[in-house]
C-alpha cells in the first residue's frame, strides 16, 4: 500500500475531497497535525507522497510557528529524493520557499471564486493536460504569493496572482483550493468574518455562498481529473513531464 504523509497547520484546514479520493484509491494516510506539535519525521524516504495543506500563517513566521522551518526542510529533502510533493495554498508557498523562493504579501486578498487561466505549458503537463476547461473557476483564500521558483514550470495564473499553479520535477504547487467542499467553505466563512470585512474591498459572505452553489460541482470535476492524473503518476513512479 502506498503511503502519504499529510502536514496540517490548523484544525479546520484538511484534505477535503482529496481525503476521500486517497481512501478510495487505497492510500495509507499519515497525518502530522503541526498545530498540535506532532513531530515531523526525519526522513521522507518512507513515504510515496507528501502533501502540505493550507493555513493562515506566512511561511516565514518561524518564531511564532517553529514547525514551519522543520516542515520546509523536510519538503526540501523530499524534493531531493524525488518524492512527489503536493502543496495547496500555504502548502504551495511552503513548496516555493523550500525551493529558496521568497513568499510575500500579494496585491490584495483573493477570497471566493475566481477564474484561473492555464498556461500553454499546461497543455503538455502530465497532470493538467487532463483539464479541458482552460479557464476554470476555482476557490481561493489567500493573501500571500511567491515568485516562480527557478527551474519550475508555470501551469496557471490569475489576474492578481501570476503563480496559481506550478510544477517542479514531480512536485506540484496549487495556490487555489482544489480540495474544498461547501461545508468547509461555510466553516471558513464563519471563522474568517473579520478577514472578509477587513479586505479591500470588503468581501460578501453571501456572494461567496451563492457562488459556491454555482461552482462547487465544477470544481469537484476538476479535482477528480487532477487527483487521478497526479496520483497515478506518483504510483507509477513517473518523474518527468509528458
Q: Where are the domains of the chain?
A: 3-236
Residue carrying C-alpha cell 477535503: 16
Q: Between the CA of residue 149 and those of 93, 141, 163, what are the distances in Å?
A: 10, 21, 10
Quote the CA–CA distance of 48 and 4 in Å, as a whole number. 6
pLDDT for the residue 241: 58
Residue carrying C-alpha cell 474568517: 192
pLDDT for the residue 238: 46
Cβ proximity of 155 and 165 under 8 Å: yes
Among candidates 122, 159, 152, 121, which has minimal Cα distance to 137? 159
pLDDT for the residue 232: 87
Among candidates 83, 102, 93, which has minimal Cα distance to 3? 83
Q: Which residues contact 190 (CB under 8 A, 6 or more apart)?
A: none
Other residues' Cβ atoms within 10 Å of the Cβ of residue 204: 13
Q: Between the CA of residue 150 and those of 101, 144, 185, what are the distances in Å?
A: 8, 19, 33
Class of 3-236 in CATH = alpha beta
Other residues' Cβ atoms within 10 Å of the Cβ of residue 127: 24
Cβ proximity of 97 and 59 under 8 Å: yes
Ranges of the chain with pLDDT below 50: 238-240
Any alpha helices (H) in the chain, and if so which ranges? 17-24, 67-80, 90-98, 182-191, 193-198, 205-236
Residue carrying C-alpha cell 492555464: 118
pLDDT for the residue 239: 46
Amino acid at each position: 500500500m502506498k503511503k502519504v504523509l499529510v502536514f496540517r497547520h490548523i484544525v479546520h484546514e484538511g484534505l477535503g475531497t482529496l481525503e476521500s479520493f486517497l481512501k478510495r484509491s487505497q492510500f495509507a494516510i499519515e497525518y502530522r497535525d503541526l498545530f498540535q506539535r506532532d513531530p515531523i519525521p526525519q526522513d521522507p524516504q518512507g513515504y510515496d507522497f507528501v502533501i502540505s495543506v493550507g493555513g493562515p500563517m506566512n511561511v516565514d513566521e518561524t518564531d511564532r510557528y517553529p514547525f514551519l522551518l522543520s516542515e520546509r526542510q523536510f519538503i526540501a529533502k523530499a524534493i531531493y529524493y524525488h518524492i512527489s510533493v503536493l502543496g495547496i495554498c500555504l502548502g504551495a508557498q511552503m513548496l516555493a520557499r523550500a525551493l529558496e523562493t521568497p513568499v510575500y504579501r500579494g496585491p490584495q486578498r483573493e477570497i471566493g471564486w475566481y477564474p484561473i487561466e492555464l498556461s500553454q505549458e499546461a497543455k503538455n503537463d502530465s497532470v493538467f493536460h487532463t483539464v479541458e476547461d482552460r479557464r476554470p473557476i476555482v476557490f481561493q483564500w489567500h493573501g500571500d504569493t511567491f515568485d516562480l521558483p527557478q527551474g519550475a514550470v508555470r501551469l496557471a495564473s490569475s489576474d492578481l496572482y501570476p503563480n496559481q499553479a506550478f510544477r517542479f520535477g514531480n512536485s506540484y504547487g496549487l495556490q487555489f483550493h482544489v480540495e474544498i467542499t461547501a461545508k468547509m467553505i461555510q466553516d471558513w466563512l464563519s471563522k474568517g468574518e473579520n478577514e472578509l470585512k477587513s479586505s479591500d474591498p470588503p468581501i460578501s459572505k453571501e456572494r461567496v455562498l451563492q457562488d459556491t452553489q454555482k461552482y462547487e460541482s465544477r470544481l469537484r470535476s476538476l479535482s477528480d481529473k487532477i487527483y487521478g492524473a497526479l496520483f497515478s503518476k506518483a504510483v507509477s513512479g513517473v518523474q518527468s513531464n509528458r
